[in-house]
């Protein structure tokens, strides 16, 4: 299977905001370990569920983006590897000095659009 955008192994500090089942908002400062234009693999100690949404903030830039949890990996030293997917491609979110060519806006797949027909 071909990836939508190349993955980079980096360690980027992030803040994650999650709403718990009790409707409480919880923040966690953590790291993204692998990033691409469409999401990341992050570490979380907060218990989360697949397909739930969370907000990711890059504290260096102040940018925030909504993401969906796509996978839950093994836990190690109290943190789980969590795969997340942005709701839309956002290569600029990581604020990397250089990005792979396939992260450029022109090479990213366009969002699918619903075409409504008049009846």
If you search the block for the tokens 């990711």, which residue do you land on?
Answer: 56
Domain of 54 in residue numbering reads as: 8-107
Tokens representing 102? 């396939």
Total number of domains constituting the chain: 1
Report yes or no on 57 lying in a domain.
yes
Confidence check: pLDDT of 116 > 50: no
Q: Of 18, 26, 28, give the one whose Cα is nearest residue 79.
A: 28
CATH number of the domain encompassing residue 17: 2.40.10.220
Per-residue pLDDT tens for 78-110?
999 999 999 999 999 999 988 888 887 645 555
Per-residue pLDDT tens for 44-83?
999 999 999 999 999 999 999 999 999 999 998 999 999 9
Report yes or no on 84 lying in a domain.
yes
């Amino acid at each position: 299977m071909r990836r939508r955008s190349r993955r980079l192994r980096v360690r980027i500090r992030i803040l994650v905001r999650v709403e718990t089942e009790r409707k409480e908002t919880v923040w966690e400062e953590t790291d993204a370990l692998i990033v691409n234009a469409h999401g990341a693999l992050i570490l979380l100690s907060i218990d989360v569920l697949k397909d739930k949404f969370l907000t990711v903030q890059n504290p260096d830039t102040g940018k925030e983006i909504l993401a969906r949890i796509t996978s839950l990996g093994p836990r190690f030293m109290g943190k789980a590897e969590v795969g997340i997917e942005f709701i839309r491609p956002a290569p600029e979110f990581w604020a990397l000095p250089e990005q792979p060519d396939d992260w450029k806006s022109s090479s990213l797949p366009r969002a699918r659009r619903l075409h409504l027909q008049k009846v």
